[in-house]
């Protein structure tokens, strides 16, 4: 299991990732854009979202740091643009932590299957900390 920092940006994620890669001497990672996601017939992706970064990550001094742009229309506030991402190859661990933190929390997305994970969910706990939970069998360190 790993708990990773997840940083959000307001349309300048690509610039930030390239900057941090240069600063910390790492390769520029592959970046998934919102426009790269499978089409959903129930939701038309806005044009302004297509080139924004949905997800990428760098390893900085041995620690994985995840990045994304905020989806257009979602609130963004500098200083609050981070979350903690629990990534584990143990689904029961993901479910247990989610359900314990769920008490008194604002659930943003119940645990469910997505196109990138068999079990993903997010919430803001009773202390105002945003958590993401992601089941990744075989890739629990990042």
Q: What is the pLDDT of residue 123?
A: 94
pLDDT in tens, 51-88: 999 999 999 878 899 999 999 988 888 878 888 888 88
Q: CB of 129 within 8 A of CB of 82?
A: no
Sorted by where each begins, the domain ranges of the chain are 5-69, 84-135
How far, CA to CA in Å, does 12 sit from each of 18, 27, 53, 114? Answer: 10, 18, 9, 25
pLDDT in tens, 82-131: 888 888 899 998 999 999 999 999 999 999 999 999 999 999 988 788 89
Q: What is the pLDDT of residue 23?
A: 84
- Domain spanning 84-135, CATH class: alpha beta
Q: CB of 99 within 8 A of CB of 93?
A: no
Q: What percent of the chain has pLDDT over 90?
A: 65
Split at pLDDT 50, 70, 90, the class of 139 is low
């Amino acid at each position: 299991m790993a708990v990773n920092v997840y940083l959000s940006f307001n349309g300048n994620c690509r610039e930030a990732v390239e900057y941090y890669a240069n600063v910390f001497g790492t390769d520029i990672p592959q970046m998934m854009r919102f426009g790269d996601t499978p089409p959903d017939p129930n939701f038309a992706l806005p044009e302004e979202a297509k080139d924004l970064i949905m997800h990428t990550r760098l390893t900085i001094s041995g620690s994985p740091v995840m990045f994304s742009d905020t989806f257009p229309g979602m609130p963004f506030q500098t200083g609050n643009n981070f979350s903690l991402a629990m990534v584990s190859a143990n689904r029961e661990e993901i479910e247990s932590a989610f359900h314990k933190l769920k008490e008194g929390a604002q659930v943003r997305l119940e645990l469910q299957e997505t196109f990138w994970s068999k079990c993903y969910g997010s919430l803001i706990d009773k202390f105002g900390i945003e958590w993401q939970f992601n089941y990744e069998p075989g890739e629990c360190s990042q």
